[in-house]
Amino acid sequence: MARILITSALPYINGIKHLGNLAGSMLPADVWARFKRGQGHDVLYICATDEHGTPAELAAAAAGQDVRTYCDEQHLIQRRAGEAFGLSYDWFGRSSNPQNHRLTQHFAEALEANSLIEERVDRMIYSIDDARFLPDRYVEGTCPHCAYPKARGDQCDNCGRLLDPTDLIDPYSAVSGSQNLEVRDTRHLYLLQTKIEPQIRAWVDGKTGWQQLAKSIAYKHLDEGLIDRGITRDLAWGVPVTKDGFPRPGMEDKVFYVWFDAPIEYIAATEEWADATGRTWRDWWRLDEGAEDVRYVQFMGKDNVAFHTVSFPATIIGSGEPWKTVDQLKAFNWLNWYGGKFSTSQKRGVFMDQALELLPADYWRWHLTAYGPEHSDAAFTWEQFQGAINKDLADVLGNFVNRIVKFAESKFDGVVPEGGEPGPVEAKLEADVRAAIADATEQFEAMEFRKAAQALRGAWVLGNEYLQEAAPWTALKTDRDRAAVGVRTGLNLVALFARLAAPILPFTAPRIAASVGVEDLSWPGAGAEVLNTLPVGQAVAAQGVLFSKIEDAQVAEWSARFGGAEG
């Protein structure tokens, strides 16, 4: 049994997340966590809300709340949304909790002791109309590298370059739109990434198992040349820079930059979990306290990769302490909405809370896994979503389960029938099913989620093809034993399909299993029995429609409400 630590990119506290956020980090992390738990491994899946920074302050002000109250409410909303989607976090923490304050300050002290923190006088953007310094992302303007007109002061979303606000052409305040800006002096702390660039590059070089997307982004930033990054901001809400025993004159009103403290929350949230459960956390994160045997896997969208392959490793490596670093980083591209971006203001796209008003979570989980933005950007369309649900789930999986269980109810007294012996058709089916399981296992192990989902669909198709060939409803007319073999085999496939579906369809898989009177949702190993797990005489009972088809009228209604091809 392996020990596996899984983290997904922290959702920002400011507002409910859209389907692209779900598809690019939290959902694949959950699917993989469920798969590995199903194999019997010791899995710890950690996530949290990222709560500091200017967006939280501004959103709280807009809501007429103090920022702590706002974050309390939003954390609960996001936690409940995750639970409703079946995201099986072992802990869903908060970056504003005391554990993260303490650890962030600890890392700052360790970096300071290693001469990797330097105090500098910055020339930063001050908005006269807003009466405040503007953090990087709240200065917008034209990118000096690619001329994208809506680049932020920390990064250009078009070309991916990391920026400073003073790099922008024709900058303006993203808070008010004001161009009444000036550059003023302010003192800040800098993490001297340039001093440890060789160590960071060597660390990336050693990640031989990383996918191409993650590694190419890491090398892009290394090859362009690292810069020293400011790690403090002129804000009230965040982890204070100064504390007892670590005073910094002139820094009393400053906090650490959200991108410095947020990744540290992976560790801090694990401490929160340990504090709440009576477990230990240091043996998951400290190499000198038992974490040598931990496999650490991160899931995130491609826009977060630079910070997780450069800045956070710089913090960990620069501390000089034996912290666990990531072993595998699974990065995802973007899920777009009909080729454009999700937009709350333009009413384009579906957000997590809205999605569940339309359909159960497993519909969304299947589509976003089987057709997600894994190796390239993907466009969500209602038409593709409708086709995937109707064909994959309703026609292939749901139809198979209900068809064979209802037949057993009506013709074999609602039990697994005895009689007859498996023949060549069943032998071929078993070989084909084992090959499909092996394929799905291999793809899940490799975190190739689209391929894994298609391997599952392939197994379900085998079940339907078997029923067509065995045709127990026809055999029953002349050979009850032969019909019994077909029904018994089909019911065993139902039990198997529940196990295969469990990582992606956690709400439906127990219903499928219950239809044949079992609860086992473990992942089938290479030598596991696949067609002879149900005892003869065991009661079976259909659980109702597993997946309702999406009608054209629903697609038209949703397109009008949320935007579609003409949106």
- The pairing of strands 255-256 and 151-152 is unpaired
Return the SS3 of 163. Answer: coil
Res 419: pLDDT: 93
CA distances (Å), 502 to each of 37, 519, 558, in order? Answer: 11, 11, 28
For 146-203, write each residue's pLDDT tens digit. 999 999 998 898 998 889 898 999 999 988 899 999 989 999 999 999 999 999 999 9
pLDDT of residue 467 exceeding 70, the answer is: yes
Report the C-alpha gap between 243 and 544 in whole angstroms. Answer: 60
Res 102: pLDDT: 97
Query: According to DSSP H, which parts of 225-253 are helical?
Result: none
pLDDT of residue 519 exceeding 90, the answer is: yes
pLDDT of residue 403 exceeding 50, the answer is: yes
Res 191: pLDDT: 97
Question: Which of these, 489, 488, 474, lies nearest to 432 by C-alpha position?
Answer: 489
| Angle, CA 34 vertex, CA 29 and CA 38 arms, to 5° | 150
Q: Give the total residue count for the chain.
A: 567
pLDDT of residue 308 exceeding 50, the answer is: yes
Confidence of residue 137 (pLDDT cuts 50, 70, 90): confident
Report the C-alpha gap between 285 and 295 in whole angstroms. Answer: 10
pLDDT of residue 279 exceeding 90, the answer is: yes
Q: Residues 486-511: what's their mean pLDDT? A: 98
Share of residues in the chain with pLDDT > 70 (%): 98
Amino acid residing at 66? D
pLDDT of residue 54 exceeding 90, the answer is: no
- The pairing of strands 335-337 and 328-332 is unpaired
pLDDT of residue 565 exceeding 70, the answer is: no
Place of tokens 């029904």: 487
Report the C-alpha gap between 33 and 293 in whole angstroms. Answer: 17
| Angle, CA 103 vertex, CA 99 and CA 109 arms, to 5° | 150
Report the C-alpha gap between 338 and 361 in whole angstroms. Answer: 21
Cβ-Cβ contacts under 8 Å for 27 (sequence gap 6 or more): 85, 87, 365, 368, 369, 372
Give the tokens for residue 554.
């629903």
Q: Residues 107-124: what's their mean pLDDT? A: 94
For 437-459, write each residue's pLDDT tens digit. 999 999 999 999 999 999 999 99
Report DSSP letters for 169-180, one per residue.
Answer: EEEEETTT----
Number of other CB atoms surrounding residue 110 within 10 Å: 18
CA distances (Å), 183 to each of 99, 133, 134, 145, 163, in order? Answer: 35, 9, 10, 21, 16
Confidence of residue 345 (pLDDT cuts 50, 70, 90): low
Q: DSSP letter at 50?
A: B
pLDDT of residue 344 exceeding 70, the answer is: no
Confidence of residue 567 (pLDDT cuts 50, 70, 90): very low
Q: Residues 229-233: what's their mean pLDDT? A: 93
For 211-228, write each residue's pLDDT tens digit. 889 999 999 999 999 999
